[in-house]
Amino acid sequence: VTGVQTCALPILLAPSRDTFGIIRPYTEAYNLNERARGFTEWFKDSQVLDIVCPQNSRSGITSALDGVFKENPDLAGLFCVSSMAHQVADYLVKRDLKKRITLIGYDLVPENEDQLRSGKIDCLISQRPEEQGRLAIQEVYKEFVLQEPGGKAVPVPLDVFFKENLL
């Protein structure tokens, strides 16, 4: 769901272009793959690049993105499906690409929050991890203590942050 909901953001932030990249640190995480899948499905008529930075390190990001920008000079934006957006922001600034690239990240970790405040990240999505934990414990309690049937999906709100709405 969050991959689909994220799709409106590049349209708002980079409306005239249609090539976007999804950055994942690895391919084995179900939740990250689902974020990427939702984004890709929404933009099925556009070019969406799947960018895997397996080392989740600055050198891995630099190597991967150098190749991506060389092959795709018209890239309009990047969506980081994990908390590594601050590392990508540093790359974009270092390569003098930030002015033309929209960067959407995940997780309001301190490094991402700092980059959002400074304008290096355009938007961050947060899934309220504390609320997710509370809801998970509540569902376990309902199923095992109250003997209520489980297995249903539990909606979790998302927060979308721009530098203007950070407190």
The model's pLDDT over 120-130, given as tens digits with 9 standing for 90+, comes to 999 999 888 78
Check residue 128 and give its pLDDT: 81
By percentage, how much of the chain surpasses pLDDT 70? 88
Q: What is the DSSP letter of 31?
A: H
Q: What is the DSSP letter of 105?
A: E
Question: What is the C-alpha separation between 24 and 105, in angstroms, rounded?
Answer: 11
Q: What is the DSSP letter of 121?
A: S
Which token pair is 26? 């690895």
pLDDT digits (tens, 9 = 90+) for 50-67: 898 866 677 888 999 999
For residue 117, pLDDT beyond 80: yes
Q: Do residues 38 and 3 touch, judged by C-beta distance below 8 A?
A: yes
Residue 36's contacts (CB-CB under 8 Å, 6 or more residues apart) are: 3, 22, 24, 50, 81
Q: Do residues 161 and 109 touch, judged by C-beta distance below 8 A?
A: no
For residue 3, pLDDT beyond 50: no
